[in-house]
Structure 1
Amino acid sequence: MTGWLGRLLVERLIRLAWLLPLAMAGLFTLVSLAPVDPITAYVGARVADVGPDQRAAIAQAWGLDAPAPERFALWLGHIARGDLGSSITFNAPVAEVLADRAGASLTLIALAFVISFAVGLGLGLTAAATRGRWPDRAIRGFAVVLTASPGFWVALLLIALFAVGLGWLPSCCAAPPGLTADEADLAARLNHLILPAATLSVVGTGPLILHSRARAAAFLESPAARHLAAHGARPGWLVWRPGLRHALGPALAVHLAGTGELIGGSVLAETVFAWPGLGQATVRAALGADAPLLLGIALATLVVVFLGNLAADIAARLLDPRLRQA
């Protein structure tokens, strides 16, 4: 392990050590103050048939009859032993729910990450290579439209065009009706993944286009690029050869740092397309006031965002020696 990497890991772990307790306290406070009654949400339409004694018994079984500080201390004790509690919504341990649904969410987020990075970097470099001409203006306008477009509107537009209008792609679930994701073949699973991944890839693509264009344009104004241009190098070659190496590191760092936005966008995408991941589970847990599951998902998200930011810092230093020296 090199010296700069060791120092970076120690620094980030120290930051996580004080950030995690604060985040846990804040998450528990927000969930405790939620206006939804978990018992009422659990019994649903049978709420009129549940008497006070039954409500008290349910509250005691779930530990809701204790004061909030006591429940928080009890929750921390369970977390320290590796027990995230039991989900009220799914009637299963939270760790089991996370394990069952994390794969679907990570697959969706990873594919959207690759798509948005390739599209954002490619269009940004293309805009830089055609500065001042119509492709540059069109790409910048496209980036602004993407940035301002609500995710649910993009999802509905894709469903209306490709699922309803053309009938090319399914608009729901991770597998054909009547089959689970494990029973469906790879082609069917990929077919169901296209629209959710396309919707989620919109998150971060617009800013990445503008960022990549700015970095590549700055390189074209540098003395090195001007020297190469004076010797006959074309703008397209400058952008896609040395300019690509100049813009790749910052673009990757910016995109990795936006992991939290992708996770937030996955909640919307999974809800619209009924994708069986943690985003859909988050919505169901929020509607049912499932505090253990909400807290478990929030902690898992915190760790993933932390790892994304750490990966962004490492990638930036690997691709730019000046940052390692600093």
Structure 2
Amino acid sequence: MGVERIVKHNLLIRKTGRKFIRMLLLLITVSIVTFTLVSMSPIDPLQANVGQAALGAMSQEQKAKLEEYWGVNVPPVRRYLNWAGGFVRGDMGISLLYRQPVSQVIGVKLSNSLFLMVFAWLISGILGLVLGILAGVFRGTWADRIIKGYSLLISSTPVFWLALLLLLVFAVWLKVLPIGLSVPIGVESAGVTFLDRLRHAILPAVTLSITGVAGVTLHTREKMIDVMESDYMLFARARGENTWSMVKKHGLRNILLPAMTLQFASVSEIIGGSVLVEQVFSYPGLGQAAVTAGTGSDVPLLLGITIVTAAIVFFGNFIADILYGVIDPRMRKGGEAS
């Protein structure tokens, strides 16, 4: 037993090491692609951040200082290597727009976005699983048609349009929720309460939740239909078991793994959706900072945000791989054999 335990431990370490190396290669590739796209952008950082009129009134010495600050005349390869060297040492650089360390800017913006993404991720997963089970169990009924129609409608609806619609209804017409931002206007930070932040985060979080439900619901519905038509479910029905007992004993075990796979894969969709949602609601989160950095040619900040978001997505997939073996021992054995 001791030898078998050591072998399993070594296999786990080896598998984790391969995934870690894959994550590093992924992050390096993402950073190179992002830097290349920013370098190829036709946006002039001086005109975008200073303005054409102000730029025209400057002397050549002032323009030269600005070009040096924004790194206009530095070769792209050298700029990337300088950034990569600092990143390896734990220095993400200084944001050219915020004039603060990139790590500090990302920390503030990520804390604002974290509530939105976690709330949307949990609600979309739980609600999507419940709706998918109901639609699959009652296939062909009015409940199934309503849930399926809702999911198809939401999956084809642009997230920014849905955000504008919710903003118009609840903030402009009904006036029950704030129109945007993360805190009340004109209130000092010391006077902002948790309830104030919660009220300002409701509409963006609900928007992300609604759009994330559709994919999980439709996927779970199809899996549940396959389970309900399987031989062991027919045998359980012949033994006189009621529907919910069969779903609890046999259905959940077979649909939980695919649902969890899709749920962890949806992390990237939620992060992408938060960019548009935060723009609509003027919510000062990571998505809005990414847009600001991209349009303002703030390369250090944009690269830092890209690396952080890519790491979050990869970490979600990594956790899913670990949980696979806990839920389905067959996958753990298959991974050890390989």
Name the TM-score class by shorter chain: over 0.9
The residue type paired with residue 146 of structure 2 is A
The answer to whether residue 234 in structure 2 is matched with residue 226 in structure 1 is yes
**Given the alignment, which residue of 40, 48, 54 partners 1:46?**
54
Unaligned runs of 5+ in 1: none
The answer to whether residue 107 in structure 2 is matched with residue 99 in structure 1 is yes
Distance, in Å, in 1 between the alignment partners of 2:59 and 2:211 is 47
Deviation at 1:124, TM superposition (A): 0.3
Deviation at 1:63, TM superposition (A): 3.1
85-94 or 145-154, larger mean C-alpha shift? 85-94
TM, length-normalised to structure 2: 0.91
Deviation at 1:294, TM superposition (A): 0.8
Superposition pairs of residues 1-326 of structure 1, within 5 angstroms: 3=9, 5-44=12-51, 45-179=53-187, 183-326=191-334
Deviation at 1:258, TM superposition (A): 1.8
The residue type paired with residue 145 of structure 1 is L
CA contact (8 A) 1:94 1:293 kept: yes
Deviation at 1:105, TM superposition (A): 0.9
The residue type paired with residue 78 of structure 2 is E
Deviation at 1:128, TM superposition (A): 1.0
Secondary structure of 1:204's counterpart equals: helix
Q: What do the CA deviations read for 1:271-312 (whole angstroms, capped 9, x no partner)?
A: 111112111111111221111111111111111111111122
Distance, in Å, in 2 between the alignment partners of 1:165 and 1:238 is 46
Cα 1:101–1:180 change in 2 (3 A) is farther
Distance, in Å, in 1 between the alignment partners of 2:222 and 2:190 is 44
Secondary structure of 1:179's counterpart equals: coil
Distance, in Å, in 1 between the alignment partners of 2:250 and 2:160 is 38
Distance, in Å, in 2 between the alignment partners of 1:251 and 1:49 is 59
CA contact (8 A) 2:86 2:93 kept: yes
CA contact (8 A) 1:42 1:88 kept: no
Aligned sequence identity (%): 40
Deviation at 1:180, TM superposition (A): 5.3
CA contact (8 A) 1:211 1:251 kept: yes
Distance, in Å, in 1 between the alignment partners of 2:130 and 2:189 is 33
The residue type paired with residue 170 of structure 2 is F
Cα 1:236–1:131 change in 2 (3 A) is farther
CA contact (8 A) 2:30 2:306 kept: no
CA contact (8 A) 1:128 1:239 kept: no
Q: What do the CA deviations read for 1:116-165 (whole angstroms, capped 9, x no partner)?
A: 11111111011012111111111111111111000011101111222222
Q: What do the CA deviations read for 1:40-98 (whole angstroms, capped 9, x no partner)?
A: 12212522212333222112234332211221221121112211111122121111101
Distance, in Å, in 1 between the alignment partners of 2:174 and 2:70 is 49
TM, length-normalised to structure 1: 0.94
Distance, in Å, in 2 between the alignment partners of 1:95 and 1:180 is 24
Distance, in Å, in 2 between the alignment partners of 1:28 and 1:68 is 8
Cα 1:291–1:114 change in 2 (3 A) is same
Distance, in Å, in 2 between the alignment partners of 1:40 and 1:50 is 12
Deviation at 1:20, TM superposition (A): 2.6
Q: How many residues align?
A: 326
CA contact (8 A) 2:120 2:212 kept: no
Distance, in Å, in 2 between the alignment partners of 1:249 and 1:63 is 49
CA contact (8 A) 1:125 1:240 kept: no
CA contact (8 A) 1:119 1:205 kept: yes
Unaligned runs of 5+ in 2: none
RMSD: 1.9
Deviation at 1:240, TM superposition (A): 4.5
Distance, in Å, in 1 between the alignment partners of 2:92 and 2:164 is 35
Moved over 6 A (4+): none
CA contact (8 A) 2:159 2:207 kept: yes
